[in-house]
Amino acid sequence: MKLTPYSKLLTLSKEGKEQSLAPSRAAEMKQKALHEVSKLDVAIAEKESAIKEAVSVYPLDFDRVIKAQDDLALSERRKRQLNELVAELFPK
């Protein structure tokens, strides 16, 4: 890595400094988004497990099953939306 001379750094405008940080900030936000996707993967697996658990008890609590299905559908939709955002905001 080659360092920018100090005298040049002092003369850089604030905008210039922000521009130099843009690629690393974009990479940081992409990694954060991918981390959120992985957290949603975990949540989806947990919600699938909750559905299996809810339908394997006697007596069936239909409200519990429906709520678990709703939660799963919401997590799947959020994951799909987040993946679309990542694809649009961080094209390859």
**Among 9-13, 30-34, 48-52, 84-88, whose mean pLDDT is lowest?**
9-13
Q: Which two tokens stand for residue 59?
A: 């007596």
Cα 85 from Cα 80, distance rounded (Å)? 9
Q: What are the boundaries of each domain within the chain? A: 47-92
Cα 28 from Cα 34, distance rounded (Å)? 10
The answer to whether the pTM exceeds 0.95 is no
Q: What's the one-letter identity of residue 46?
A: E
Q: Which two tokens stand for residue 19?
A: 């521009």
Residue-wise pLDDT for 21-56, tens only, equals 788 888 999 999 999 999 999 999 999 999 999 999
